[in-house]
Each structure stands twice: as structure tokens, then as C-alpha cells.
Homo-oligomer: A and B are copies of this chain.
Amino acid sequence: MRHKGSHRRADLDAVLAAGFLCHLGVTVDGTTMVVPTAYGVDGDRLYLHGSVASRSLVQAPDTTVCVTVTHVDGLVLARSVFEHGVNYRCAMIYGVPEPVTDPEEKLRGLRALTEQSSPGQWEYARQPSRKELAATALLALDLTEASVKTADGPPDDGDSEDAALGLWAGVLPVVTTFGAPVTDPVLPADFAPPAHVAARAGREVHEALPGR
């Protein structure tokens, strides 16, 4: 089966662990907006910067939002245009975002947000001051209402009438990797990045966990 759906928490965790950017869907004044934003996961909650959704929260505090995380794995090139598709992993989370006000959870959420995209940076960089913490709106979303959809594998028209066309078919993989770190030009050019940054160059960004 090329397409699979899942409500297993382990599948959700795997998709979330393999990324750092989501698309947040919010409805403000009847208009739906889809905004890309970074996320972090800590325990059973997903954290987002609140700036994006703040308008909708102020205007309609109990509005359900949708957070979607998608990793593209390849283009499926079938024998017919009709059977073309995309291999992907996608998680969709629905919930009413809750502003994080507890200072301890806020710090934990911001740490999760930072470490999701940039592991090691929370300890390496300067952590938020009291003033910065106060200026940061953070939202939490429970991971309880979520689903995962994936598409994987070769085109499935290999045993259809179209197989007789004798055309090539297969998958063109799409791979996202980290490049070599680019040092801020105001620093000396030979200022080497710390090991936790340098070690990521060439690594896959959305790598699936082993066995998946």
C-alpha cells in the first residue's frame, strides 16, 4: 500500500522529530491563513511562537487551529500522468492553542523550540533574559488530536495495462540536507563553528528514524 494513515502516537512522534517547521492554519475574521513557523515538542505538547496566532487568539480564544508538518521524500513518476504523486510523511494536529504563562513552562517550551531545529544551541547561546521572556508569546497545543499520513514506495501502476507501454517508472527522491555552516561575516572568517553545529553539515534534515 502506497498510502497509509495512522493515529499511533509513535508515528506522530517520528514525523514531528524529523522536522522543525510547521504550517499553522488559523481563521481570523472568517479568513483562513496558513503561516509557516517553527515548532518544538516537549512531552505531550507542541510549542509555537504566539505572534502568528495571537490575532486569532485575541479575537476568538476558543478557535481550533491546525498544525501540519510535512516532509517530502520523493516524486512518484508513474506510467500515466494520472498515477503521478508525491511520497511524503505528514502529521496534522488539531487543538485550541493555550498561551503559556507559567514562567517555568515558558522556558521549557522555548528550549524545546530552540532544540528542535538547533540541538545544542540552548546551552551554547545566551538564554532569554527576563525581559525577552516577557516579550515572547508562546502557545502550547496538546498532541491528543492528531493524525499521520504517509505515502511511500514505487508507483502502483506496475501491473496495470499501462505496464505494456514500456515506459520507465520509479521514484525521484527528494533529500534535504544541512550545508556547511556560513559564519556571520562580521566575525573573523576562520572563526570555526562549535562542534554541535559543524557536525550537522551533510546530514539529512528530515531523516526517518531507523526501521521506519
Contact surface of A with B, Cβ cutoff 8 Å: 20-21, 23-27, 30-36, 38, 63-68, 70, 72, 74-75, 77-82, 84, 86, 88, 90, 92, 94, 110, 114, 117-118, 121-122, 124-129, 132, 136, 154-155, 158-159, 162-163, 165, 167-187, 191-194, 197, 200-201, 205
- Which of the listed residues A20, A34, A154, A173 has the most CB atoms from chain B within 10 Å of its own CB? A34
Taking A81-B126, A125-B80 as contacts, is the C-beta distance between A172 and B32 under 8 angstroms?
no
CA distance A163 to B198 in the complex (A): 20
Taking A170-B183, A184-B155, A185-B154 as contacts, is the C-beta distance between A67 and B118 under 8 angstroms?
no
CA distance A72 to B81 in the complex (A): 28
CA distance A175 to B174 in the complex (A): 10
Report yes or no: A172 in contact with B81, Cβ–Cβ below 8 A: no
Taking A34-B92, A84-B114 as contacts, is the C-beta distance between A154 and B184 under 8 angstroms?
yes
Taking A86-B21, A176-B176 as contacts, is the C-beta distance between A32 and B78 under 8 angstroms?
no
